[in-house]
Chain A
Amino acid sequence: MQIKESSKIYDVIIVGSGAGGGMATKILGDAGLKVAVVEAGPFFDPKSQEQQTQLKWPYESPRRGASTVRPFGDFDSAYGGWEIEGEPYTRKHGTKFDWFRSRMLGGRTNHWGRISLRFGPDDFKKKNIDGLGDNWPIGYDDVKPYYDKVDKLIGVFGTKEGLKNDPDGYFLPPPKPRLHELFYIKGTKKSNIPAIPSRMSMLTKKINEDRGICFYCGQCSRACQVYADFSSGTCLIFPAQKNGGQIDLFLNAMVREVTTNAEGKATGVSYINKEDRKEYKLKGKIIVLAASACSSARILLNSKSKQHPNGLGNSSNIVGKYLHDSTGANRSAFIPDLMNRKTYNEDGVGGMHVYTPWWLDNKKLDFPRGYHIEQWGGLGMPSYGFGFNPNDLNKYIGEKVGGYGESLRDDVKKYYGSVIGISGRGESVAMKDNYCEIDPTTVDEFGIPVLQFHYKWSDFEVKQAKHMHETFEEIIHNMGGHVLQDRPTKEQEYGLLTPGRIIHEVGTTRMGDNKKISVVNKYQQLHEVDNVFVVDAGPFVSQADKNPTWTILALSWRTSDYIIEQLKQQNI
């Protein structure tokens, strides 16, 4: 079988269409470059009547939205999950890592939580503070102009709070808190824990003529048909096309490797077309990897040649190393004061209207890094699982649990909206020994060697999870609530979720000035191959107690500007 080669030479080939790839497409496309976007999944537009899940009722799904097929249920927009048929990965030495992939145009930005937080000045220089890990080679001042531009281009609501490590931006006004959020605010206040309006990328106000305004269905995880929330397809790739960009989309195209010439420079990519299962080659002057931290590392490691025997850009042996995800721990509570609610439409925006940024000084604690707190609750739309154990909460008010008949209706109504959830999402310390590498014994259904993961939480993260639960219990107590689960024990690592579960994996192609201990420079350009860039979260030196997307977007924009500049100067 001969590999089919296209004669067209692109200025840039972008691998992946999520946050990083979308932003590169927008900036490089707007600059007039000939761009190929190679995406492993199908086309997706939440406006499409056939693909839409927004505003569907539970009974439109025969499984009522159960998570049998899609991990977040039938109505979530992600095509993919932690397990994808035909695309396995393996784990080493009994360690655990779960790898989430969305195979679709826009990638995981179609279903993500839209929590859009800037990293603060401290987040780029953690080693200066606690001596652990490494500093980034750039600081907040380098990224700030791009955060500002991202805020204005995409839109994010929030409030100016003047917090040192949670910088303000160009915010749209936030929505008012829901009822349970007023209880949360009250509960945090009692313990001097801050609660502020959340910062999320939904349009509470118009920002341009192309995108609609939020109509408060609370279903951002289903992707918005009027483009009122941020996803890469609707807010970056479609506008770049509309703007007259020379952009060719290659869909259902699974990239195998970056091709190189005798001088070791990148010449393009080879990919498998999922429809005819044949291998193709695309030629390009510049390759921008945005396939997600682990997928980009996999492509680099699989791109072996005479010039790059250890994989592309991997003389340092650092590709795949320093993999880290946010930490996560969850608890829920029953709040008697939220019983017997009148019902009204409080869908609001998808997710929380209120959150808690990290508020303590780690120098006074027994773990080095912080976490933020998210919460949920309210009069949500019933979905599979609603009504399970309908009156278990009776035990808290001295009534009998169980039974059948008409009284169950009263129980379900009595407790509707009285349970809240609290989650901590924190920073872990990047470790060289947490990594992904190629497992030479296994290939996916396209014949591409797969990743093998090795990941262990350290004591830092375990102690942080313990602190999260102590905080949750305190807040719940302040709200007059009953904690619903026992506090997880030390043996259970205090309920610390398996790495990969928060879907913030970063660090596999980390940036630095020293080529021996990093993969890309401060412009996310491979140290060893100057026409290859990585614009997903792989270059993150450390994943703050924030969500990574806003930083991926800002850095991808910054790198795209650098590429344009370098092309002008004929440096690459």
Chain B
Amino acid sequence: MDRRKSIKSIILGSVAGGLAVNGCKPGTEEALVETTVKVDENHFGRTPSEKELIAELNAKTFFNPHELETIEVLCDLILPATTSIGGAVEAEVTDFIEFMLKDIPEYQPILRGGLMWLDHKSNTDFGSEFKSSMETQQKEILDTIAFPDIEVPQNQRPLEIQFFSLMRNLTLTGYYTSKIGIEDIGYKGNTPNVWDGVPEDVLEQHGVSYDEEWIAKCIDQSKRSDIAKWDENGNLLT
């Protein structure tokens, strides 16, 4: 997809919408062209040494296949797909966790140790590894580690509880920073637009309103492309 074009059309769309409200001003269309942005999806601004580090981390393998399969089962239990949107597995959170464990090695002992604990517990209670136990059995184990006592500081909780909290954190952050997760949370930004205040229905829902005196000082977006000029006292003339 040519992202340059699509963003340009979004800008045109959103400003055109704004114009309908503010009244049409001559000269605004030229300004729209100037706000056209370019985004090259092949880069995300890495320096040569940062690229090398990523390549190095990608070349290493941390988890073995059994561990990865167990993580995938956990991801699915923590954030399953719904009827309308994919879950952690569809968002490829397992790959993300593999990368993060290499990027932040401090996580390694707790996560790896926790996985061993899970299999030990599952073998002891049900005679099978965690990943092959029945879902009800898996949940029975998770119920014992998924609800920390919040009065106890995090680093003083039993390892298996710390393990599950970390696993849940990585799963959720991996999910909500993925394409699917961003759609699920409903984040609407990261795209050129013209900010003109909080929508009326939102103000109403939260019981706040704009102060008229304050708003009168704010930018009139229909004049954003008129070059700023001031009188000698600093009063804006345009």
Chain A positions near chain B (C-beta within 8 angstroms):
42, 49-66, 68-69, 74-75, 77, 79, 148, 152, 155, 157, 159-160, 168-179, 182-183, 185-186, 197, 204-208, 212-213, 215-219, 222, 225-226, 337-338, 341-349, 379-390, 392, 395, 400-406, 408-409, 412-413, 416
Known interface pairs A174-B217, A346-B189. Does A386 touch B177 (Cβ–Cβ under 8 Å)?
yes
In the assembled complex, how far is the CB of residue B159 from the closest CB belonging to chain A, in whole angstroms?
16
Cβ contacts under 8 Å, A380 to chain B: 187, 189
Residues of B within 8 A of A63 (CB): 99-100, 103
Partner of A404, one of B58, B146, B203, B235: B146
A-side contacts of B7, CB under 8 Å: 55
Judging by beta carbons under 8 Å apart, are A176 and B196 in contact? yes
Determine how close the nearest CB of chain B comes to the CB of A3; give it in whole angstroms: 27
How many residue pairs link A and B with beta carbons under 8 A? The number is 275
Given contacts A182-B198, A386-B177, 12 further A-B contacts (CB under 8 A): A51-B45, A55-B39, A155-B228, A179-B206, A182-B208, A205-B219, A216-B193, A216-B195, A217-B189, A218-B189, A222-B45, A384-B177
Number of B positions contacting A (CB below 8 A): 90
Are the CB atoms of B192 and A215 closer together than 8 Å? yes
Query: Counting CB contacts under 8 A, is B59 at the interface?
Result: no
Asked whether B22 is an interface residue with its Cβ less than 8 Å from the other chain, the reply is no
Contact between B210 and A212 (Cβ–Cβ < 8 Å)?
Answer: no
Contacts of A173 in B (CB 8 A): 217-220, 236
Contact partner, A64, options B45, B47, B57, B177, Cβ 8 Å: B177
Contact at B45–A213, with CB atoms within 8 Å?
Answer: no
Q: Check: B96 CB closer than 8 A to any chain A CB.
A: yes
Stretch at the interface among B62-70, B113-121, B124-132, B165-173: B165-173
Q: Specify which chain B residues have a CB less than 8 angstroms from the CB of A395 in the assembled complex.
A: 150
User: Is there contact, CB below 8 Å, between B173 and A387?
Assistant: yes
Shortest distance between the CB of B7 and any CB in chain A (Å):
8
Contact A171 B177 (CB under 8 A): no
**Residues of B contacting A212 in the complex (Cβ-Cβ under 8 angstroms):** 34-35
Say if the beta carbon of B11 comes within 8 Å of chain A.
yes
Instruction: Report the bound CA distance from A400 to B150 in whole Å.
Output: 10
Give CA–CA (A207, B174) in the complex, Å. Answer: 41
In angstroms, Cα B39 to Cα A55, docked, is 7
Within 8 A of A (CB), among B87-124: 96, 99-100, 103-104
Within the complex, the shortest CB–CB distance from B222 to chain A, in Å, comes to 11
Q: Is B224 positioned at the interface, with any CB of A under 8 Å from its CB?
A: yes
B41 touches A60 (CB 8 A): yes
Can you name 15 A-B pairs with beta carbons within 8 Å?
A53-B45, A64-B177, A75-B44, A157-B219, A179-B208, A182-B203, A183-B208, A185-B211, A185-B214, A205-B226, A343-B185, A381-B190, A392-B150, A401-B148, A404-B146
Pick from B31, B189, B190, B215: contact of A213, CB under 8 Å = B31
Given contacts A52-B45, A172-B228, A381-B190, contact A401 B147 (CB under 8 A): yes
A413–B175 alpha-carbon span in the complex (Å) = 13
Q: Is B53 an interface residue (CB 8 A)?
A: yes
What CA separation (Å) do A330 and B7 show in the bound complex?
Answer: 37
Contact with A along B196-214 (1 / 0, CB 8 A): 1111011101111111001
Contact in complex: B234, A170 (CB < 8 Å)? yes
Interface contact A337-B187, CB-CB below 8 Å: no
